[in-house]
Amino acid sequence: MLTSIAVQMKREFWEQRVSFLWAPLIFILLVEALSIWIMVSPQNINFPEKIPITLDTLTVESYSTFNTVTGKETLDFNTPDALALIACVHQAVAWGVFAMMFAVAIAIYVHSTLFADRKSREILFWRSMPVSESLNVVAKLLMVCLVIPLLILVCNLLSFGLFLLAAVLLGQDFTQWWPALKMGVLSFKILGSSFVVMLLILPFICWGLFSSAFAKRSPVVISIAIPIGLWLADVLSQMYLDINVGYKDTLDSYWRFAYASFVKLWGAQGATVLDIDLASASDIKITSIAICISLLLIAATIWLRNNRYEI
């Protein structure tokens, strides 16, 4: 079973190599070009007193000098902690870039992966292969929830390695390498955060897969129109019929829950993935409902794949 899933995931990766391989490589080069530009052309920046995303407290005086002409702090790479600070900022910014890129890739992937093969009739070929649709759907879900966070980690580490190599080629002092290299631990902390994010958006991922398997013409229209229609119906029923279906309240509760988790994960200084307790007394109900909805959507998706071959 595991071998079959691995083969399926390998096939998925190869079929989506533009989104999962070539696009990340292009974005890595863009991030490194920006990093090199900053290093070779120190910019006048209004720095805050402290940078909250660093592992240690680095004050403005430790990595910058005051320019009396411009009245701003100027980044100075000859100071002891400058490279370490930029390495830290580099990873945070690079993760943001890769996260946004893969967010677009995920949206495209989940809405097309179970629709394109039905539209082209390739599903009839794959149905003749000794692989069940259950494994096929699970492999696609694992591609999003497991492989993509790992791809973000690989992209971050590769980008970080190229950043350090560029720093060496630009003549950075050897004594600054180790403090900067230690900042590489941020990539692994971000990996844990990425899995939390995937858990939070799991119902939406499963809904996208269901829409892809259900739609006859446009999965995106189905994915957007049905939730908006249900939300409007619930609002109008509450306003004019005094009937609360609960759909709007459920979405509001989950949004507050997800937003609070994001703020706790990314907004609190020094917060780590260990600080996010999705099984706490206050969150267990919402978490359980989200997981149950996700399982139901995956089960419905598998049923559709087994019973509807053509568009």
Residues 74-79: contacts with CB within 8 Å, 24+ apart? 74/42, 74/43, 74/44, 74/45, 75/38, 75/42, 75/43, 75/45, 76/42, 77/39, 77/42, 77/172, 78/173
- Find, among 52, 49, 46, the residue nearest to 75 by Cα: 46
Report helix angle 148-169 to 185-200, nearest 10: 150
User: Which residues is 74 bridged to in the sheet?
Assistant: 44, 65
Cα 78 to Cα 81: distance, rounded to the nearest angstrom:
9
- Tally of domains within the chain: 1
Model pLDDT for residues 271-306, shown as the tens digit of each residue: 544 454 544 444 667 777 788 899 999 999 999 988
Model pLDDT for residues 205-223, shown as the tens digit of each residue: 999 999 999 998 899 999 9
Who has greater pLDDT, 80 or 199? 199
Mean pLDDT across the chain: 77
Name the maximum alpha-carbon separation found in the chain: 74
Residue 25, amino acid: L
Asked if 248 contacts 235 with a C-beta cutoff of 8 angstroms, the reply is yes
What domain range includes position 72?
A: 2-307
Mean pLDDT calculated for residue range 183-197: 80
Model pLDDT for residues 221-265, shown as the tens digit of each residue: 999 999 999 999 988 998 888 888 888 888 888 888 877 777 766
Model pLDDT for residues 32-66, shown as the tens digit of each residue: 888 878 777 655 444 444 343 333 333 434 444 54
Contacts of 263 (CB under 8 A, 6+ apart): none
Q: Are strands 44-45 and 64-67 parallel, antiparallel or unpaired?
A: unpaired
Mean pLDDT calculated for residue range 106-125: 85
Cα 142 to Cα 119: distance, rounded to the nearest angstrom:
23
Residue 209, amino acid: L
Q: Which residue has the tokens 């709007």?
A: 248
Kindly report the length of the chain: 311
pLDDT of residue 245: 80
Cα 244 to Cα 263: distance, rounded to the nearest angstrom:
30
pLDDT of residue 81: 64
Half-sphere exposure of 272 (CA within 13 A, CB side): 9
Counting Cβ atoms within 10 Å, is residue 245 exposed (0-12), middle (13-18) or buried (19+)? Answer: middle
In the sheet where 44-45 sits, what is the strand order? 44-45, 72-75, 64-67
Tokens (6 digits) for 289: 């409902």
Residue 196 confidence class, pLDDT cut points 50, 70, 90? confident
pLDDT of residue 186: 79
